[in-house]
């Protein structure tokens, strides 16, 4: 079945650094959603993308819908300790289902 692979799997960064992560699919998507999950909590929607090439920002976060429609990218600028968590991409698989990526675990060193 469809899978979404995220890289890197995990990363340690220094506070203040910029972060980049990506999500790739074997098939074309018409929507990309990016979520952040804190320990013991539910995923929180960060950014939604609906058009190939679209670049959308939410504060220090910027996400892009890849031109091939098989990938998406999330960047975090000037990371802070509260950026710690797991970042998931998600895309529609059929009409009534979203599948989630494997996740990127971010750890920020103060």
Partner 1 sequence: EPEVTQTPSHQVTQMGQEVILRCVPISNHLYFYWYRQILGQKVEFLVSFYNNEISEKSEIFDDQFSVERPDGSNFTLKIRSTKLEDSAMYFCASSRGLAGGYTGELFFGEGSRLTVL
Binding site residues, partner 1, CB under 8 A: 30-31, 33, 35, 37, 40-45, 48, 88, 90, 92-103
Query: CB of 48: closest distance to partner 1 in angstroms?
Result: 5
Query: CB of 65: closest distance to partner 1 in angstroms?
Result: 14
Q: Which is nearer to partner 1, 46 or 76 (CB)?
A: 46
In the structure encoding, which two tokens stand for residue 69, read together?
A: 């429609």
CB atoms within 10 A of CB 70: 16
Q: Which is nearer to partner 1, 1 or 67 (CB)?
A: 1
Q: Which is nearer to partner 1, 1 or 110 (CB)?
A: 1
Q: Which is nearer to partner 1, 14 or 59 (CB)?
A: 59
Q: Exposure of 17 by Cβ count < 10 A (0-12 exposed, 13-18 middle, 19+ buried)?
A: middle
b/e string for 26-61 if b means 16 or more Cβ within 10 A? Answer: eeebeebbbbbbeeeeebeebbebeebeeebeeeeb
Query: CB of 17: closest distance to partner 1 in angstroms?
Result: 25
Query: CB of 30: closest distance to partner 1 in angstroms?
Result: 8
Count CA atoms closer than 13 A to 90's CA, side-chain side.
21
């Amino acid at each position: 079945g469809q899978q979404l692979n995220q890289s890197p799997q995990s990363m340690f960064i220094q506070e203040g650094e910029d972060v980049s992560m990506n999500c790739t699919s074997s098939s074309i998507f018409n929507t990309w959603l990016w979520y952040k999950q804190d320990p013991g909590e539910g995923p929180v929607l960060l950014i939604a993308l609906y058009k190939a090439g679209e670049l959308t920002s939410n504060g220090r976060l910027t996400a892009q819908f890849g031109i091939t429609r098989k990938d998406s990218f999330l960047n975090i600028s000037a990371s802070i300790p509260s950026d710690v968590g797991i970042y998931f991409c998600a895309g529609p698989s059929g009409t009534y289902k979203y599948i989630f990526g494997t996740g990127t675990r971010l750890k920020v060193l103060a």
